[in-house]
Amino acid sequence: MKKNTVIIALWIIALIGAFSLKSNAQLVQKLEYPSDISITNDRSELLADETTITDTKTGAKIECSNDKVHFKLYEKWQHTFIRYSWKWKKDRHGAYKEYSITVSKKDGDLIKEWAKTNL
């Protein structure tokens, strides 16, 4: 009987030690590598409501989730699009489309200027 209680006590101590090591490891990992903080790109500029343009190495990328702004961009600048895609996303308000448009650097600068007065 005494032998069984000693084994159970050692087993409980081992479990407590394992859980404390795991919790400390997770705490250190969160401090060193915060995964909940998103890295923002400071080359990103706001064009209009829910629409940003980001300068990339070879061009510019426009991300838009507002349909009215997207259709204005598409109507005027569709001939300059290098890559154009959209995907469905869902949030607490429902489903919506997120558009992704890639253009050249020169066209990106022209779109920035055009957006100041037209969006």
pLDDT at position 36: 45
Q: How far apart are CA 63 and CA 96, in angstroms?
A: 13
Contact between residue 45 and residue 53 where contact means Cβ atoms under 8 Å apart: yes
pTM over 0.85, yes/no: no
What is the b/e burial string over 39-52, where b = at least 16 CB atoms within 10 angstroms of the residue's CB?
Answer: eeeeeeeebbebbe
Q: How far apart are CA 63 and CA 43, in angstroms?
A: 13
- What is residue 66's three-state secondary structure? coil
Q: What is the pLDDT along the chain (119 residues), one digit of tens a residue?
A: 788 888 888 888 888 877 777 666 655 545 454 544 444 545 788 888 889 999 998 899 999 999 999 999 999 999 999 999 999 999 888 999 999 999 999 999 999 999 999 88
Joined together, the tokens standing for residue 92 give 């607490």
pLDDT at position 15: 82
